[in-house]
Amino acid sequence: MSVPNRKRLNIAVIGGDGTGPEVVAEGVKVLRAVTHLEGITFSWKEFDYGGERYLKTGEVLPPGALDELAAYDAILLGAIGHPDVAPGILERGLLLAMRFHFDQYINLRPVKLFPGVETPLKDKGPDDIDFVVVRENTEDLYAGVGGFLKKGTPDEVASQTAVYTRKGTERCIRWAFEYTRKRNRRKRLTLVAKTNVLTYGHDLWWRTFQEVAREYPDVETDYNHVDACCMWMIKNPEYYDVIVTTNMFGDIITDLAGILQGGMGVAAGGNINPEPGGVSMFEPMGGSAPKYTGKHVINPIATISAAAMLLEHTGFPEAGARVMKAIQVVTGTKMKSQAAGKMGYSTQEVGDLVVDAL
Ligand code: IPM
Ligand code: MN
């Protein structure tokens, strides 16, 4: 008897650089365990893309690599970044290449303080720090539009152009409204931008936001300039429910937000193509932390949360919720800290604890 398609999950796993493979191994361990418990047939294939391979072969992604990845239900990525590779090569050649090729136009970054996790904010707890940033993921300064004039001369000119399209803006904003409605917490969506300075691009965002808002009368809307958002996020994080923002600002504010939820050992993100058949990619937000490579001290919780998001967005929300619950048991009752080397357990032991808590 054949297993119905919806009970099958086949993913591509890219460990990447530094400690990426170590954390991804724990993500896969938890996925194996939870899919077994939920009666889902799970398979995965590992790909060795990253700095080491680039240094050996001179190419970041071999020809046909993106087409091959397209055959999987989703991608789990560890980290990229290699001390011997110049900045931009792996970022543009691998991470941004996947985001753009698969049109993963939503970068979803939940900011949730788990029980037992320390936040640098005084007098704030898990009830106060529980919001989500919806970051546009294919446009803005990341589009790669720009160039040099008279490079290397005293008259050099460099330009880097932020690109915003109506289509790209609207699909992101509409998705954020839908998400806010479904999340059903405070039902408040805050647009974060800089309309007082970016009077073209962010005017397009502002107008689009107002127009789409009319279709969602049940969702309260608000607007923050990005600089003010950085203040409010520290002072009153409980105000936020869902934030929708542009690619570059989303990059910056989610590092700030990541620290509020316990740091890069905990923060995870999804690069989502929400269209039918879209291939999404899930990753811990932290980098490759080369100095910790092979020491088994890095925190896999962010990657395990990314795995939970992967389940949720590939049609297995119960399995995803089960992983999220297990994570909170482990942070709340077992781990001493979320910082690398201070967890009270090794990377593998934290993975085992999550499996036990499933
Ligand atoms: C992130 C990272 C990437 C980004 C880098 C590595 C290109 O900082 O996912 O937030 O800027 O989007
Ligand atoms: Mn970033």
Catalytic residue, from 103, 128, 255, 352: name it: 255
Q: Is 155 a catalytic residue?
A: no
* pLDDT tens-place string over residues 219-274: 999 999 999 999 999 999 999 999 999 999 999 999 999 999 999 999 999 999 99
Per-residue pLDDT reduced to its tens digit, 9-53: 999 999 999 999 999 999 999 999 999 999 999 999 999 999 999
Mean pLDDT, the chain, integer: 96
What pLDDT, on a 0 to 100 scale, did the predictor assign at position 5? 52
Quick one: pLDDT at residue 3? 46
Q: Is 142 a catalytic residue?
A: yes
From the candidates 142, 179, 240, 345, which is the catalytic residue? 142
Q: Are 193 and 245 in contact (CB under 8 A)?
A: yes
Residue 166 clears pLDDT 50, i.e. is over it: yes
Q: What Rg value do the Cα atoms of the chain yield, rounded? A: 20
The answer on pLDDT for 1 being more than 50 is: no
Separation of first and last alpha carbons in the chain: 28
> What residues are in contact with ligand 1 under a 6 Å CB criterion?
91, 95, 251
pTM above 0.85, yes or no: yes
pLDDT at 46: 98
* pLDDT confidence of residue 2: 46
CA distance 55 to 344: 35
In the residue annotation, 251 being an active-site residue is answered as yes
What pLDDT score does 89 carry? 96
Percent of the chain's residues with pLDDT above 70 = 98
Catalytic one of 72, 112, 251, 345 = 251
- Cα(255) to centroid(ligand 2), Å: 6
Cβ atoms of residues 170 and 212 within 8 Å: yes
Distance 111 CA to ligand 1 centre (A): 16
Question: Which-ligand-closest: CA of 107?
Answer: 1
Q: Which residue's alpha carbon is at the smallest distance from atom 5 of ligand 1? A: 91
Amino acid at position 155, single letter: D
Residue bearing the CA closest to ligand 1, atom 8: 251
Atom of ligand 1 nearest to the CA of 247: 12
Distance of alpha carbon 269 from alpha carbon 111, whole angstroms? 10
Distance 357 CA to ligand 1 centre (A): 31
Is 84 an annotated catalytic residue?
Answer: no
Tell me which residue has its CA closest to atom 12 in ligand 1: 251
Tell how far the Cα of 12 is from the centroid of ligand 2, in angstroms.
22
How far is ligand 1, taken at its centre, from the CA of residue 196, in Å?
A: 26
Q: Which residues pair with 11 in a beta bridge?
A: 44, 74
Take atom 4 of ligand 1 and give the residue whose Cα is closest. 251
Percentage of residues of the chain with pLDDT beyond 90: 98
Q: Of residues 194, 240, 241, 345, which has the active-site annotation?
A: 194
**Nearest to 111, CA basis, from 137, 134, 136, 133:** 133
* Chain position carrying tokens 């409010």: 232
In this structure, the residue with its CA closest to atom 6 of ligand 1 is: 91
Span of 1-5, 161-165, 198-202, 214-218 with lowest mean pLDDT: 1-5
pLDDT of residue 6: 60
Report how far ligand 1's centroid is from the alpha carbon of 99 (Å).
Answer: 11
Query: Which protein residue has the closest C-alpha to ligand 1 atom 11?
Result: 251
Look at phi and psi of residue 150 and say left if phi exceeds 0, alpha if psi is from -120 to 50, else beta: left
> What pLDDT digit, counting tens, does each position of 86-130 carry?
999 999 999 999 999 999 999 999 999 999 999 999 999 999 999
pLDDT tens profile 264-288: 999 999 999 999 999 999 999 989 9
- In the sheet with 8-16, reading across from the earlier edge strand, the strands are 41-47, 8-16, 74-79, 280-284, 268-272, 106-112, 130-136, 242-245, 188-193, 220-225
* Closest atom, ligand 1, to C-alpha of 80: 6
- Ligand 1 atom with least separation from CA of 99: 12
pLDDT (tens digit per residue) in 315-342: 999 999 999 999 999 999 999 999 999 9
Instruction: Provide φ and ψ at 187, rounded to 5°.
Output: 55, 50
Q: Indicate which ligand has the atom closest to the C-alpha of 100.
A: 1
Q: For ligand 1, what atom is nearest to the CA of residue 81?
A: 6
| Burial 79-93, CB ≥16 within 10 A → b, else e | bbbbeebeeeebeeb
Count the Cβ atoms, other than its own, within 10 Å of residue 324: 18
